[in-house]
Structure 1
Amino acid sequence: MTYKDLYLQKNRGYFVGNARYEIIKQIPNNKHNKVLELGCGDGATLLELKKINKASFVAGIDIMDFQQDNCLDKFTLADIEVIDDLPFPKEYFDVIICADVLEHLKDPWEATKKVVWYLKKDGIFIASIPNIREIKTLYDLIINNDFKYVEAGILDKTHLRFFCKKNMIDLFNSSDLKIKNILRIPNTLSKKRILLNFISFGLFREFFVTQYLIIGIKK
């Protein structure tokens, strides 16, 4: 079984119909934005950006084709780690999105450097990355002696790399990106977790994060 076969086993809903509104909120209100998304699925996030006039040109890259009616301005069927060059000039894009993509790559550090080449100076690079320090994941590992891969989530069976917040920051820093903001997902806590966070003087806060949304600016 190939790595791509693992993807083909996933439910179609994993790839389509999921516009990432928490990412859309981080993109400046500029109808002239050119936006590239790695792992774009059916392009739901990109199409929403055009719909609300936050982009004039949207392009996507994915290893599988879920496009309908050629809805994106440009779609490239490719593996970002294999393809030598993308069909765009240097510093073409204002925004590049990697939503739940980097953890699926063999070498996310080199892949990030590769795509940042196509980002304008002061352009925005947005990535969402699962947090391996999430409390349930750690509990299963430490208490239950269980590192069980699942269909979706932090231990998704198609994940090749795992990150803590510090490693995510290091990845951005090594790719000529200056961190602008880091957001937690989820950003709200249950009453029980609020109490735990309070009595630990904030020490537990990072254990309640499923993934981080990191916004960087190209230097």
Structure 2
Amino acid sequence: MEYYGFVRHEIAPMLPAHADRVLELGCGNGATLAWLKANGRCNSTTGIEYSPDASSIARQHLDHVIEGDAEQIDLQALGQFDLILCLDVLEHLRDPWQMLRKLKQQLTPQGRIIVSVPNIRHHSILLPLLFRGQWRYQAAGILDQTHLRFFTQESAQQLLEQAGFQIEQCTGLGQQWAASRFWRWLGKLAWAKPFCSVQYILNGKIS
């Protein structure tokens, strides 16, 4: 259950000072939303989670939890939100473009959306593919076997823009997670960041 329990502290620089109502797709056990509320960053928390086990834990921490497939849920019935989080969830969806268009309708005019997606251009994917012809799905990570969609920085930005969002910030993360000192050093160079960023976090508003 630890997989569902991480607080996504890395979104802190992109958070608004306060958001009255917050919705998170793929909320896991609710750790990130509970963290926001405990720190006074929001008043009401709503999570959507596919896993029954994670949902049961989330209900202990959040105001509202909807269990099920986010693409099949009537989002309009949930009302509008001041902040929507889609953290490592869009790559699991059949139609993330349509999902973002739906979410745009549930965002208040001054609301914000924060999205994170894994970077398929990372060196751990490119080099085995280029030199060994390997594309091996894994239990977790960039090539998680449940991923249906794959994104680079450019296509992640297009994903939001085509849904009607204006991107205010896009940040690559994960260079510092590399086990090798060489890759940690290389990740500091501007030209190498697209190959060393494990994921991209984007902050957007309605355009």
TM-score normalized by the length of structure 1: 0.85
Indicate the residue corresponding to 2:198 in structure 1.
210
Letter in 2 for 1:54: R
Kindly indicate whether the alpha-carbon contact (under 8 Å) linking 2:168 and 2:203 is maintained by their aligned counterparts in 1.
Answer: yes
Rounded to whole Å, the distance in 1 between the matches of 2:136 and 2:174 is 22
1:204 positional shift: 2.0
* Residue 137 (structure 2) pairs with residue 149 (structure 1): yes
Rounded to whole Å, the distance in 1 between the matches of 2:142 and 2:184 is 22
Post-superposition Cα deviations, 1:156-213, rounded to whole Å, max 9, x if no partner, equal 0000000111110111101111000011112548763476568xx7332211110000
- C-alpha change, 1:160 and 1:120, in structure 2 (3 Å) is same
Aligned counterparts, 1:84-163, within 5 A: 84-89=74-79, 92-163=80-151
RMSD between aligned alpha carbons?
A: 2.0
Structure 1 residue matching 2:157: 3-state secondary structure: helix
* Residue 146 (structure 2) pairs with residue 182 (structure 1): no
1:117 positional shift: 1.0
Task: Flag structure 2 segments of 5+ consecutive residues without an equivalent.
Answer: none
Post-superposition Cα deviations, 1:139-160, rounded to whole Å, max 9, x if no partner, equal 1111121100000000000000
Q: Which stretch has the larger CA shift, 75-84 or 164-173?
A: 75-84
- C-alpha change, 1:48 and 1:196, in structure 2 (3 Å) is closer
Please, which of 36, 39, 59 is the counterpart of residue 26 of structure 2?
Answer: 39
Kindly indicate whether the alpha-carbon contact (under 8 Å) linking 1:24 and 1:45 is maintained by their aligned counterparts in 2.
Answer: no
Rounded to whole Å, the distance in 2 between the matches of 1:45 and 1:202 is 30
Rounded to whole Å, the distance in 2 between the matches of 1:214 and 1:98 is 10
Aligned counterparts, 1:1-80, within 5 A: 12-15=1-4, 17-30=5-18, 33-65=20-52, 66=54, 67-68=56-57, 70-80=60-70
Post-superposition Cα deviations, 1:53-94, rounded to whole Å, max 9, x if no partner, equal 0000010001123233542111111212122444322xx211
Which has the larger helix fraction? 2
> How many residues matched?
202
Rounded to whole Å, the distance in 2 between the matches of 1:117 and 1:124 is 12
* Residue 71 (structure 2) pairs with residue 81 (structure 1): yes
Task: Flag structure 1 segments of 5+ consecutive residues without an equivalent.
Answer: 1-11
Larger radius of gyration: 1
Kindly indicate whether the alpha-carbon contact (under 8 Å) linking 1:29 and 1:53 is maintained by their aligned counterparts in 2.
Answer: no
TM-score normalized by the length of structure 2: 0.90
Structure 1 residue matching 2:6: 3-state secondary structure: coil
Structure 1 residue matching 2:191: 3-state secondary structure: coil
Structure 2 residue matching 1:204: 3-state secondary structure: helix
